[in-house]
Amino acid sequence: MFNKIRNWRVQRTVARHPIAEPLWQDALQRCPAARRLGASDQATLRVLATLFLESKSLEPTKGLQLDDADRVLLAAHACLPILKLGMDWYDGWHSIIVYPDAFVPQRQKIDAAGVVHQTHTVMAGEAWGRGPVILSWTEVLNGGKKPGHNVVIHEMAHKLDMLNGDANGFPPLHRRMDRRVWSRVFSSAWDRLQDERRNGAELPIDPYALESPAEFFAVVSEQFFEAPANLRQHLPDVYRQLEQFYRQHPF
């Protein structure tokens, strides 16, 4: 009964708030990862994007104006990771705050001596546990243009990672996935890339991945959707784990 009610609500939302065909075609042209999908998956993505726009609040700041095409584009990017998972995986949070460009949150950090420091780190995106996702619109527009980079997918991967606690590179795995295999594969890839960086080698993915296990998961998720051939070539075991987690085969 619950599934019937939920499906009815989905159908009603899609019927009442459809994404106009010109807006959807514009989003596909501006989102290469979505454009590569088959017709059936594109139709599913369109439904998810509709539900996303109805359930999440997109909040531009600093004078930024987002038109309907912009909002559909952002939703298309955001829903790629949950194409085979469903909107339930984005439950528990509501807002996406969008800055025109990179932003600099002011934070306090206390060092080991108890001294308080003000931090001013320039950021393109940020995800809070049960709070908002924060994005730079400039970086959203760059999604798919720089090989393997997509700030929306990056931050949505953090959201998925945090479904079972703090972001640590270990999202809630599906029943038939082996936690030991996931840990072994990601740890091995992490150690290998750390060694390569120490030896001065050029890394096959963004070096920012080595900031923490959480960033590693987010960066390889970007690669999985935006540059799957590169990820499968250089980190094939990681690629296979992400195939199982996202239940997709983008390459």
- Where is average pLDDT lowest: 23-32, 110-119, 182-191? 110-119
In a domain, 14, yes or no: yes
Average pLDDT, the chain: 89
Entry pTM: 0.89
In a domain, 144, yes or no: yes
Please report how the helices 21-30 and 39-55 are oriented relative to each other, as an axis angle in degrees rounded to 10: 110
Is the pLDDT at 143 greater than 90? The verdict is: no
Q: Which range marks the domain in which residue 195 is found?
A: 2-246
Confidence of residue 4 (pLDDT cuts 50, 70, 90): very low
Residue 152 confidence (pLDDT): 96
In a domain, 228, yes or no: yes
Residue 106 confidence (pLDDT): 56
Number of domains making up the chain? 1
pLDDT tens-digit series, residues 233-247: 999 999 999 999 999
In a domain, 215, yes or no: yes
CA distances from 94 to 98, 233, 239 (A): 13, 37, 30
In a domain, 96, yes or no: yes
What proportion of the chain, given as a percentage, has pLDDT over 70? 89
In a domain, 196, yes or no: yes
Is the pLDDT at 231 greater than 90? The verdict is: yes
- CATH code at position 214: 1.10.472.150
Residue 53 confidence (pLDDT): 96
Is the pLDDT at 2 greater than 50? The verdict is: no
Is the pLDDT at 8 greater than 70? The verdict is: no
In a domain, 213, yes or no: yes
Confidence of residue 21 (pLDDT cuts 50, 70, 90): very high
Contacts of 194 (CB under 8 A, 6+ apart): 210
In a domain, 251, yes or no: no
pLDDT tens-digit series, residues 169-207: 999 999 999 999 999 999 999 999 999 999 999 999 999
Is the pLDDT at 117 greater than 50? The verdict is: no
pLDDT tens-digit series, residues 34-53: 999 999 999 999 999 999 99
Residue 235 confidence (pLDDT): 98
Confidence of residue 105 (pLDDT cuts 50, 70, 90): low
Residue 112 confidence (pLDDT): 57
